[in-house]
Amino acid sequence: MAEEEIKKAAAEQTAPDETEIKNDSVDDPKQEETVDEVTALNDQLAELQKKYDELEDRYYRAEAEMANMTKRFKKEQEQLLRYEGQDLARDILPVVDNLTRALQTEVEDEASKQLKQGIDIVARDLDKALQGNNVTKIASLGEVFDPTKHQAVKSVPVEEGQEPETIVQVLQEGYMLKDRVLRPAMVVVAQ
């Protein structure tokens, strides 16, 4: 009898149960409910993935924008440092012009000569200070006219031995700060 019970128990374990057969059926409402839940979860997952992708894209764009802003800020800062003192140099140029005019005047008495000598020392020191801060005169006399560095105030006919578009007279010196023109030279050009 024990042997029969063992066979019966083994048969029950291997034979499918009626409830298991019902669950495999397509008409089962529980299975339809489960399929609907899976579909809803898949839709929700797709929506969340879409939101994630959008947020990730916005994050990368914001990060790139920040990197570009940082580069632009550094470039602007370098420009400011590179041309630091530009306004001061531009404001000093009329002083240099006045000192140059004072040195061009003819003097005869001893007191005037000493005064002119003092002005010459001041002019040289000022010129040295400007050069020390990368402010240099624009080469003009005898050079070919360059509209980026020179301002033609007058033109004269070309004489023998002169090339056309050559600067024959400098009315006011021009100055540059490094590679930037502070003030163009006012010149007379042979044409």
Name the domain count of the chain. 2
Say what the pLDDT of residue 40 is: 92
Phi and psi, residue 58, nearest 5°: -65, -40
Write the pLDDT tens digit of every residue in 142-183: 899 999 999 999 999 988 878 888 999 999 999 999 888 999
Q: What is the mean pLDDT of residues 129-138?
A: 91
Please give the structure tokens belonging to residue 127: 């010129």
Same domain, yes or no: 54 and 95: no
Q: Which of 158-188 are b and which e, b meaning 16 or more Cβ less than 10 Å from the residue's Cβ?
A: eeeeeeeebbbebebbbbbbeeeebbbbbbb
Q: Give the predicted TM-score (pTM) of the model.
A: 0.57
Using 50, 70 and 90 to split pLDDT, how confident is the model at 58? very high
Say what the pLDDT of residue 99 is: 93
Domain that holds residue 176: 86-190
pLDDT higher than 80, residue 2: no
Say what the pLDDT of residue 31 is: 78
Residue 93 falls inside a structural domain: yes
pLDDT higher than 70, residue 26: no
Q: Which of 60-85 are b and which e, b meaning 16 or more Cβ less than 10 Å from the residue's Cβ?
A: eeeeeeeeeeeeeeeeeeeeeeebee
Say what the pLDDT of residue 28 is: 66
Same domain, yes or no: 136 and 76: no
